[in-house]
Amino acid sequence: MNDFDIIVYGATGFVGRRAVRYLANYAAKANLRWAIAGRNAAKLEQLAASAGNVPVFIAEANDRAAIDAFTGRTRVVLAMAGPFSLYADTLVEACVQLGTHYADITGETPWIKTLIDRFHERAQASGTRIVPSCGFDSVPSDIGAFFLARAVQRECGTDCTKMKAYFRASGGLNGGTLATMLLMFGDPKASAAMRNPDLLTPPDHAGAARIPGGRDPTMALFDGDAGTWVAPFVMGPINTRVVRRSAGLFALWNETYGERFSYQEYMSFPGPFGAALATTVAAGAVMAQASASFAPARTFLEPFVPKPGTGPTESAIEGGWYRCELFARSADGRQLTATMRDSGDPGNAATVKFACEAALALALEGDALPGGAERGGLLTPATAIGEVLVRRLQEAGTRFELTIPA
């Protein structure tokens, strides 16, 4: 019996509190049955009071009985507490077993790979949608690629063969995100897995789903499609894996983006100082990754980075923004472009909007979701929610713009 539409787990964290505020604002205008859950009873009760006295569930991350007690009573669990490899494993297992849809904001692709190996087939059989990466990792990439690939097919009457995304953004990091990054880079096995461009791509089924990854870019370069200097995007090794999983799953379902579809992404640096900025960013990314992978360097850095539960100021979050520009080439050589953009800090404001709208779509629009009620598995935002999420984000103020050649 579903007493609730959505339960937010990890509600008292930095982005969790913002998600609670987002859903409380939604519930003030529309009917929504929701609750919050987490580990700290005092913080949860205080947060619940500020959100209209919503119900509260207390559950440690590895307490299966306590997790089951709320997971079995809701349509969707929205997990906001990371690192997810530490705090969401039992939660996902419970959702799969109880048939409860799940969404989170993780960028931990090695952990997502373990979920695919353990739960994809079971969730697929029961029609349960397990949807990691519903934050800034990796909605602009995954939903942006979906939006543009389908536009190529609709407008050109042929498939998409090549796509690249170029990011520009302004914002800050919260303590939970930094803790997750340090954890991943500090684990040699996780670091090695992250370097695999096909980490999340479905296995080759008679050639139907092999989406070639290619190596991650490591250097600054002038990109002719963007007409500007670009550098590797720090989140590219996460986002590209998610987009390739979407493309592979769609191919298995005979909904392909294109047989020769490829995807890569960068940061772009327009203007007269673009070359210098791109070169500096590329070099800094290499140094940052090397430092995070080196235990003494991590120990040195930890006192200076924000602690979990903390993040940018409200004014800094409101003053942030992002812009994702995507360039696609059709099988007959035409080029289409799309832009996805919004105001608000990418890692905090945008992430909360993406995750909450994904959870609302899963909870309230089941009949409209792609693939019908039978679609389940370890999915992606594009394959689990697709056009429904595009529409919901547009209604929530996110801009999607398409440029079609004359």
Within 187-273, residue ranges assigned H as helices are 188-194, 236-252
- With tokens 């690629």, the residue in question is 145
Average pLDDT of the residues in 189-198:
83
Is 293's pLDDT higher than 70? Answer: no
What integer pLDDT is reported at residue 209 of this predicted model? 44
Chain length of the chain: 406
Is 207's pLDDT higher than 60? Answer: no
Q: Which residues, listed in sequence order, are joined to residue 91 by a DSSP beta bridge?
A: none
What integer pLDDT is reported at residue 28 of this predicted model? 93
- The C-alpha atoms of residue 340 and residue 189 are separated, in whole angstroms, by 34
Is 296's pLDDT higher than 60? Answer: no
Average pLDDT of the residues in 126-149:
97
Average pLDDT of the residues in 207-233:
80
Q: Cα–Cα distances in Å, from 31 out to 52, 283, 312, 363?
A: 13, 50, 31, 12
With a CB cutoff of 8 Å and minimum separation 6, the contacts of 75 are: 2, 4, 5, 6, 100, 101, 362, 363, 366
Ranked by mean pLDDT, the top range of 56-60, 222-226, 293-297 is 56-60
Average pLDDT of the residues in 95-105:
98
* Domain ranges for the chain: 4-136+350-389, 139-344+397-403
What integer pLDDT is reported at residue 300 of this predicted model? 44
- With tokens 């779509």, the residue in question is 361
| Mean pLDDT (the chain, rounded) | 89
pLDDT category at 313 given cuts 50, 70, 90 is confident
Class for the domain spanning 4-136+350-389: alpha beta
With a CB cutoff of 8 Å and minimum separation 6, the contacts of 134 are: 103, 104, 105, 354, 355, 358, 359, 381
Percent of the chain with pLDDT over 90: 75
The residue type at 228: T
pTM beyond 0.95, yes or no? no
What integer pLDDT is reported at residue 360 of this predicted model? 98
- The C-alpha atoms of residue 214 and residue 235 are separated, in whole angstroms, by 16
Q: Cα–Cα distances in Å, from 15 out to 184, 215, 303, 347?
A: 20, 32, 21, 9
- The C-alpha atoms of residue 79 and residue 101 are separated, in whole angstroms, by 11
Report how far Cα 326 is from the mean position of its chain's Cα atoms: 17
- Residue 124, phi-psi category: left (phi > 0), alpha (psi -120 to 50), beta (remainder): alpha
The phi and psi torsions of 8 (rounded to 5 degrees) equal: -90, 120
Per residue in 249-266, pLDDT tens? 999 999 999 988 999 999
Going by C-alpha positions, the residue among 130, 187, 171, 188 that lies closest to residue 322 is 171
Average pLDDT of the residues in 132-157:
97
Percent of the chain with pLDDT over 70: 87
Are 33 and 11 in contact, with CB atoms under 8 Å apart? no
